[in-house]
Chains A and B, each alone.
Chain A
Amino acid sequence: GAGVSQSPSNKVTEKGKDVELRCDPISGHTALYWYRQRLGQGLEFLIYFQGNSAPDKSGLPSDRFSAERTGESVSTLTIQRTQQEDSAVYLCASSLRVFDEQYFGPGTRLTVT
């Protein structure tokens, strides 16, 4: 079956612009996660959704970051007023239930110039 997909695969934006990153999880997966991975580093947990609800948003780096999920399906990570330090690969994952094995998408590579 189809895996987790993310779009766009690459995004180059100017400092100060807003960007939206999209994640389509595996159908039927109730949990969805967002991570950030800077070059050569490990994954930084940002937020997770159980259904359409995000119980804990404390992992988001700043108030410029927000995320939503609708219909227990698609999720969007929005970064407002992008900064150069936001440049990274943003990975999305989904799992059948919150503590189950996570399936990752290919990521969106964001470059802020």
Chain B
Amino acid sequence: LAKTTQPISMDSYEGQEVNITCSHNNIATNDYITWYQQFPSQGPRFIIQGYKTKVTNEVASLFIPADRKSSTLSLPRVSLSDTAVYYCLVVDTGGFKTIFGAGTRLFVKA
């Protein structure tokens, strides 16, 4: 199972771009990368998912280099409401287990 490593916390200011990098050195060929956002007292919410290169949706972009040993979630122009915990996880399609790490606590300041 690919274990993920993320920074424990990050601070940012409103309007800035935030990049959160996740390491997953042991990712397997068929695994893919997913990011979730969690607010206090709520279940996680899906942000974005990808296998390689770049994926973009209306809320974020996901950059995955060719070796797929890491991935970067990019949040453009964050606001106070983006303060949350962000989880990177690798979905093991071989046996199916989703491993959530400790996540990155993003704190956006005014």
- Do A and B share a complex? yes
Cβ-defined contact, A91 with B98, below 8 A: no
In chain B between 39 and 66, which residues have their CB closer than 8 angstroms to a CB of chain A? 41-46, 49
Q: Which of B41, B42, B43, B95 contacts A93 (CB 8 A)?
A: B43
Bound together, the chains give a CA A42 to CA B87 distance in angstroms of 8
User: Among the listed stretches A64-72, A77-85, A98-106, which one makes contact with chain B, having 4 or more residues with CB under 8 Å of it?
Assistant: A98-106
Most B Cβ at <10 Å: residue of A56, A93, A99, A105: A99
Contact with A45, one of B42, B100, B102 (Cβ below 8 angstroms)? B100
| Cross-interface CB contact of B99 among A45, A55, A101, A103, cutoff 8 Å | A45
Contact residues in B for A48 (Cβ distance below 8 Å): 96
Confirm or deny: A86 has a beta carbon within 8 angstroms of a beta carbon on chain B: no
Residues in A neighbouring B16, C-beta threshold 8 A: none
Q: A101 is contacted by which of B49, B87, B96 (Cβ under 8 Å)?
A: B49
Cα(A54)–Cα(B93), bound, Å: 15
User: How far is it, in angstroms, between the C-alpha of A98 and the C-alpha of B30 when the chains are bound?
Assistant: 14
* Interface residues, chain A, with chain B CB atoms under 8 Å away: 4, 33, 35, 41-45, 48, 55-56, 59, 91, 93, 98-99, 101-107
Task: Give 8 new A-B contacts, CB below 8 A, not counting A42-B102, A43-B87, A56-B97.
Answer: A33-B98, A35-B100, A42-B87, A42-B103, A45-B97, A91-B44, A104-B45, A105-B43
